[in-house]
Structure 1
């Protein structure tokens, strides 16, 4: 299948694939994607950039190693993006990673999550749903910024002003962090149709929901 067709079928019809002839500003750690033609070498170099998260996101790393077919740099909607092409049961699933950021909003995130946004990607997500992965920091929202239509006992079960989501699962679930105790942030799942699941392991749930996104 032609790469342009794959991009179009995955919501990137207007994306332009970048090459070494393009005069663009990108992180130095991305430059190999413009010059390296060997897909296996590109795959290896990309996965190597995830090594800091190998113990936190083991399922994700394993799936990348098994299913990643190619990685491209594209220009799309006025942004340079890294596109991961994964072949799942003979169908392509595209995850998009934005360029790293040092945006001041990152200060609300726990240290290891900040590291992801600063050094790997400002959001990494399944492109069609925009979910099943970390949202760009500019799309991270506190729960108090939305209307949920839930019973009061659920709305009062956590401080909505101090709880933000960094992932949605494309359905009813949001992976959240509560920062009432800034030194000890707590993770939870916020449901649009049920009571929240409190005190979860953030990285374990993130890993599992990414796995779902890469395996559906």
Structure 2
């Protein structure tokens, strides 16, 4: 408990909020590398996931690739690329992109697969082209699941971006590694708490976004189903009804 209070005290220390390497600067760096990684991974994974979910072809290779990338240890990949590319941000970016691709890919094809096939058949019967079906039917209806994949990838990136400080003086991970080196446990815990707070804040924003992207018609239908509810049997409301006349 004392260490936790020391970490909070380190965060609240005004000296850590100004100058080079201050908390606002490190938070900005952490968000910057997380955003860059998310954009790169999205450009790679989302179109592939949409194509798989729309066509239904290539799902098995996509699952295999996704599972294989999940099994890779991020620190090991980071170390490997750092030895190859040297000190800097290139190695962390590549390692984090590899980490972010599986949830983005899975969310994209799962989102489009969740759309009722009868809805897609009806869109085709109306004469809609395949690109129109994707953009106007499948993506809007599957967007909550797609956003869920983006949400999962973002949280993994933010949590693991602390490793960027392993090979570069960048992000909130610097506090953790510097505190470990100097045995300043208050700094280590303070950096960890900041990462947790940042992750929770971003997760809250994505939770709101995930609710907002549900199409209005779907929300209305769900609300109507909840309001109507299951009807009670007539027997529950009074005497059971029997056939014929009773003497």
User: How would you bin the TM-score normalised by the shorter chain?
Assistant: under 0.3
Considering fraction of residues, name the structure with more helix. Answer: 2
Considering fraction of residues, name the structure with more strand. Answer: 1
Larger relative contact order, structure 1 or 2 (CA cutoff 8 Å, min sep 6): 2
- State the structure with more CA Rg: 2
